């Protein structure tokens, strides 16, 4: 087997591994892919694979689109059970464009024409993801996009003889995956290990509002700190940043408060505030239905004194925030594990 073919196979395997992370996250109900979107991507991946295969006699770089068909198909099937519905205008335009590429191929007898149409649609369909990652980088995971980018770079290296028909697909995929990967990785580096110093309750609330912009549905925010460290004040800022309009009070005696979020720009519908300071055991929280909220994909949960419910936090996406007293009104807020 030639070296270029081996590199192409390795590129396809990397893309398949990246897509498998989406599949398993969906099955574990850690993500809710859009059924319409992934259905369109499955159709596009089939058309891209077939048109790319017939547009060039070189097949060393065919393994990435083949891996996409398998992986995207698996995610689409998982989304039928665990995903969410809804057709955006862009989805309908992409579906129509993909469908039109089939008669275009038949009329022109040119698979390259169909390939170019579907590549354009694929780039167009990536724009919402690019925008989402730019505005809220925590909405995407680092590992799959790093693998996508690496796999597409390998696919470029697998090209045996460069020409337009062979190179256009790998180049387009490097551009899409590279843009998103850079945005995600750059933003993640900025988030890890941040420390804020505040000198008033208002400044602490402002930090909470900033943190709220980086949260995504299903997050569990664990607050560590002594009594009077400013945990509830920080919660008020996070609630304000998410769009909660109700007054925030500490659930010291009720254990859990649930607030509705009225913000159509977010997929987060509820904020759950838990205070385990007076909790005797985890069963007390289970008795009041905490499992209906903790880690759910339409909910952000904030937990004060999380040390008491570590068993309930396993396999959750946890953000750890430590608050410490300073001199007078000074507070040091350390954010970890975004």
Q: What is the reported pLDDT for 137?
A: 54
- Summarised one tens digit per residue, pLDDT across range 238-251 is 999 999 989 999 89
- Summarised one tens digit per residue, pLDDT across range 144-191 is 888 889 988 998 888 888 888 888 888 988 998 898 888 877 655 555
How far is Cα 183 from Cα 134, in angstroms, rounded to an integer? 6
Q: Output 309-318 pairs: Cβ under 8 A, ≥24 positions apart.
A: 309/274, 309/276, 309/279, 309/282, 309/285, 311/282, 312/282, 312/285, 312/286, 313/220, 313/222, 315/28, 316/218, 316/220, 317/30, 317/218, 317/219, 317/220, 318/219, 318/220, 318/221, 318/222
How far is Cα 125 from Cα 131, in angstroms, rounded to an integer? 11
- Summarised one tens digit per residue, pLDDT across range 91-111 is 677 677 767 777 877 787 788
Q: What is the reported pLDDT for 99?
A: 73
Q: Is the pLDDT of residue 87 over 90?
A: no
Q: What is the reported pLDDT for 40?
A: 76
| Domains annotated on the chain, with CATH | 3-190 (no CATH), 193-336 (3.40.50.300)
Biggest CA–CA distance in the chain, Å, is: 77
**Would you say 318 and 299 are in contact if contact means Cβ atoms under 8 Å apart?**
no
Q: What is the reported pLDDT for 206?
A: 94
Q: Is the pLDDT of residue 132 over 90?
A: no
DSSP bridge pairs for 321: 223, 335
Listed in sequence order, the residues at least 6 apart from 210 whose beta carbon sits closer than 8 Å to its beta carbon are 237, 241
Listed in sequence order, the residues at least 6 apart from 2 whose beta carbon sits closer than 8 Å to its beta carbon are 60
- Residue (of 5, 116, 125) closest to 72 by Cα position: 125
Q: Is the pLDDT of residue 271 over 90?
A: yes
Q: Is the pLDDT of residue 29 over 70?
A: no
| Residue 219 phi, psi dihedral angles, 5° rounding | -65, 145
Specify the DSSP class assigned to residue 215. Answer: -
Mean pLDDT of 222-238: 92
Specify the DSSP class assigned to residue 327. Answer: S
- Residue (of 136, 164, 151, 82) closest to 263 by Cα position: 136
How far is Cα 207 from Cα 233, in angstroms, rounded to an integer? 10
Q: Is the pLDDT of residue 338 over 50?
A: no
How far is Cα 329 from Cα 233, in angstroms, rounded to an integer? 13
Q: What is the reported pLDDT for 142?
A: 76
Q: Is the pLDDT of residue 194 over 90?
A: no
Q: Is the pLDDT of residue 311 over 70?
A: yes
Task: State the angle between helix axes of 89-108 and 111-135 in degrees (0 to 180), rounded to the nearest 10.
Answer: 160
Strands 331-336 and 194-198: antiparallel
- In three-state secondary structure terms, 281 is coil
Tell me the pTM.
0.57
Burial 186-222 (b: 16+ CB within 10 A, else e): ebeeebeeeebebeeeebbbbbbbebbebbbbbbbbb
How far is Cα 141 from Cα 185, in angstroms, rounded to an integer? 9
Q: What is the reported pLDDT for 203?
A: 94
Q: What percent of the chain has pLDDT over 90?
A: 24
């Amino acid at each position: 087997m030639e070296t270029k073919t081996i590199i192409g196979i390795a590129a396809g395997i990397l893309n398949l591994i990246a897509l498998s992370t989406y599949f398993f996250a969906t099955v574990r109900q850690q993500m809710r892919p859009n059924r319409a979107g992934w259905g369109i991507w499955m159709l596009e991946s089939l058309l891209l694979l077939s048109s790319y295969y017939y547009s060039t006699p070189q097949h060393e770089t065919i393994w990435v689109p083949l891996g996409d068909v398998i992986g995207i198909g698996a995610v689409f099937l998982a989304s039928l059970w665990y995903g969410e519905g809804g057709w955006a205008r862009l989805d309908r335009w992409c579906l129509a464009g993909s469908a039109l590429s089939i008669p275009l191929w038949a009329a022109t007898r040119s698979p390259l024409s169909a390939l170019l149409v579907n590549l354009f649609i694929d780039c167009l369909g990536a724009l919402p993801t690019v925008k989402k990652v730019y505005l809220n980088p925590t909405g995407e995971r680092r590992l799959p996009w790093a693998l996508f980018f690496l796999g597409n770079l390998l696919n470029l290296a697998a090209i045996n003889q460069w020409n337009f028909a062979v190179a256009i697909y790998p180049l387009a995929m490097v551009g899409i995956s590279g843009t998103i990967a850079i945005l995600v990785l750059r933003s993640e580096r900025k988030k890890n290990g941040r420390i804020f110093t505040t000198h008033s309750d208002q400044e602490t609330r402002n930090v909470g509002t900033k943190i709220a912009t980086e949260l995504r549905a299903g997050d569990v925010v664990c607050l560590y700190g002594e009594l009077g460290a400013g945990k509830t004040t920080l919660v008020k800022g996070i609630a304000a940043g998410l769009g909660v309009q109700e007054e925030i009070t500490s659930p010291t005696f009720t254990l859990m408060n649930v607030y509705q979020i009225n913000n159509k720009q977010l997929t987060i519908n509820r904020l759950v505030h838990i205070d385990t300071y007076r909790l005797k055991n985890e069963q007390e929280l289970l008795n009041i239905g905490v499992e209906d909220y903790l880690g759910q994909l339409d909910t952000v949960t904030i937990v004060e004194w999380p040390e008491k419910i570590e068993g309930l936090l396993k396999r959750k996406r946890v953000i750890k925030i430590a608050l410490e007293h300073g001199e007078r009104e000074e507070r040091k807020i350390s954010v970890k594990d975004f």
